[in-house]
Structure 1
C-alpha cells in the first residue's frame, strides 16, 4: 500500500532521514561517462558546496553525504520547530540567501527585507519552507539542474523524479545509514580507503580529526545545528573503517573482523550490524530502525506492517556470537 510522504516526513516535528537523488536514467552526469568519455566530475563540488550553503540557511542539519557520479546520498535532520524562534528579518534574510534575485546587492537586499517584514503571510510561508525537507531538496536539486543544463546548453530533467526518503527511527538506524553513505565510494570501488574519497562527509570528518588531534568530540552534524549521535567523532571513524574492512570481499580474513565496542552498545552483533548497513536500500523502504521503532511507526501510520520489519526481526534474533 502506498503511503504519502507527509506521513513519513512530518512537516511540523524534528526527524532524521536518509535521502537519495539519482540522475535521470542513472546517467553519469556528475562523473566521467564511460561511453562518451565526457568528464563532469567538477559538478560533484557544485553539489557539495550547495549542500553546505543550504544547511547554513535551512533548519536542516547534515550528518553525512556522498556525492557520486550518478546519485547523491544525504543523512539529514530537520527541525521545523526551531524556525519559530527566528524573527521576521532572519527568516527573510535566510530565504533570500536561498533564492536570491539575480542582481541583488547588499543595498537592494536590505530594501527587500524592509518591504517584506510587514508581510506576515509571506513570512509564515518562508518560515515553513526553511523547515521543510522537500524545500531543502528542491533548492538543492533545482539549482544543480539549472547549472548543469546551462553548461550543456540543453533543457530537460537532470534528476530522476523526486528524491527517495527513509525515516531513521533510532540511533542505530542513524549510524548505520551514515556508515552506508560514507562507504559508498568504497563499495563502488572508486577508492581503497574511506578517507581517500572526495566529496564525501567522511573525508571532512577525517581531515578535521587529523588537524586537531581531538579524540573526544561528540559526533555532531557536518553543517547545521543538531544533536549529537551519542558517540564521539573518533568512535564513528573507527566504526566506518572497521565496517568497510569487513564489507570488502577481496580481503577475506586479512583484517581483524571484530567491530568496535560501539556496535554492541547499540544492541547489535557484528553480523547484524553489517547486515543492517548493507541492507539500507535493499531491505528497507520508508523507514529504518529496530523492531520496536518499526512497530511504533506502523501504529502511528495506522498500518499493520511496514517493509523492513521482518528483516529487523531477523537482525534482532541474530546471536551476538555470530
Structure 2
C-alpha cells in the first residue's frame, strides 16, 4: 500500500531527504540499450542540467546527486526558511523561470494592479508559489516531467517514462545524511561505471571537484559544506569537505560480495568524529536503498518520528 507523502516528508522532523526515481521503460534512461543498439548516454546531461537549474529556482538545496543508467539519486535539504525570507517579487521571478505566470502577477511586478481585489488575488498566488518553492513533490515533478517530455519526443512515443512516484527517505541526523550522500556519490563506483568518485561523470562529487579545479570552491547550485561547526540556520552541510573526500575514499575501498566495484582503503578522521565504526557505517550505506525504508536515524529518533506522526510503525533504518 502506498504511503501518503505527508507521512514521509515532514519538515518538522527533518529537512534532509534522499530521493530516487526510476525509469519504467526497458530502453533505459541514459544507458546503452543492447536490444536496439541505441545509446541514451546523452540523457545523463539532461538530468544533471535540470537538477542544477532547479537548485537555483527552488528553495531546496542539493547536497548530492548521481545519474545512473535507469535511475537517479538526489540528497536534498528543504530550506523552508529561505522560501519564507524571499520577497514577493523574488517568488514571482523564481516561479516564472520555468512556469507560466498568471497575468495578475505580471501586472503585480509592473506595479499596475489598481483594485484591492486584484491585489488580494495576486497575493494569494504568490503565497501558493512560495509554498511550492519548498515543496519536494513539486521540484521532483518539474524534474521528472521535463525529462519525460524530452525522452518521449526523442523516442517518438507517449506514455509513462518514470516508474510511478519518486521514492523518498527521511534522513533524521547527520550520520544518516552522511551515509546517504556517501551512498549516492559512490553509486557509479559500486556499479563499476567509474573506477573512482572523481572520475564518475554526472555526479555531485565530480561537479564539486570540477568547480574547485576552476577555482570556484563552492558551486552555487549545490549546498556547500560548512565545516565542523553546527550552525543554527543550516547554512551548509555540517562536515568538512576534505574529510568527506577521505570518507568517500575509505568507504569506496571496502569490498562487498553483492557489489561489483570498489576502490582502495584508508581510514579517515571523520569516522571517529561521528562516533561510529567502519562496519556500522558500511552497513548503513548498503541498506540506504532497502525496500520500504522511508526513515533513517537512531532508534531514539525513529521513535520520536513515529510518535510525531502518530503511527504504530514506520519503515526505517536504525543507526
- TM-score interval for Structure 1 and Structure 2 normalised by the shorter chain: 0.7 to 0.9
Which residue pairs with 1:105 in the alignment? Answer: none
Which residue pairs with 1:244 in the alignment? Answer: 252
Alignment of 1:276-291 (within 5 A): 276-282=284-290, 285-291=293-299
Which residue pairs with 1:10 in the alignment? Answer: 10
SS in 1 for 2:63: strand
Which residue pairs with 1:191 in the alignment? Answer: 194
SS in 1 for 2:97: helix
Unaligned runs of 5+ residues in structure 2 are 225-232
Deviation at 1:27, TM superposition (A): 4.3
Which residue pairs with 1:318 in the alignment? Answer: none
Which residue pairs with 1:271 in the alignment? Answer: 279
1:166 aligns with 2:169: yes
Q: Does structure 2 retain, via aligned residues, the 8 Å contact 1:12–1:80?
A: no
Alignment of 1:51-200 (within 5 A): 51-100=51-100, 113-114=109-110, 118=119, 119-200=122-203
Q: Name the TM-score, length of structure 2 as normaliser.
A: 0.84
Change beyond 3 A, Cα 1:226–1:137: farther
Residues 154-193 of structure 1: per-residue CA shift (max 9 Å, x gap): 1111111110000000000001000000111111111111
Distance 2:3 2:29 in 1: 31
Q: Name the TM-score, length of structure 1 as normaliser.
A: 0.83
Q: Does structure 1 retain, via aligned residues, the 8 Å contact 2:14–2:170?
A: no
Deviation at 1:212, TM superposition (A): 4.3
Among 262, 272, 278, the alignment partner of 2:270 is: 262
Distance 2:277 2:172 in 1: 19
Deviation at 1:289, TM superposition (A): 1.2
Residues 245-278 of structure 1: per-residue CA shift (max 9 Å, x gap): 113669999944x521211221211110111111
Residues 179-214 of structure 1: per-residue CA shift (max 9 Å, x gap): 000111111111111111110011112223445497
Q: Does structure 2 retain, via aligned residues, the 8 Å contact 1:17–1:77?
A: yes
Q: Does structure 2 retain, via aligned residues, the 8 Å contact 1:239–1:259?
A: yes
How many positions carry a matched residue from both structures?
300
Deviation at 1:124, TM superposition (A): 1.2
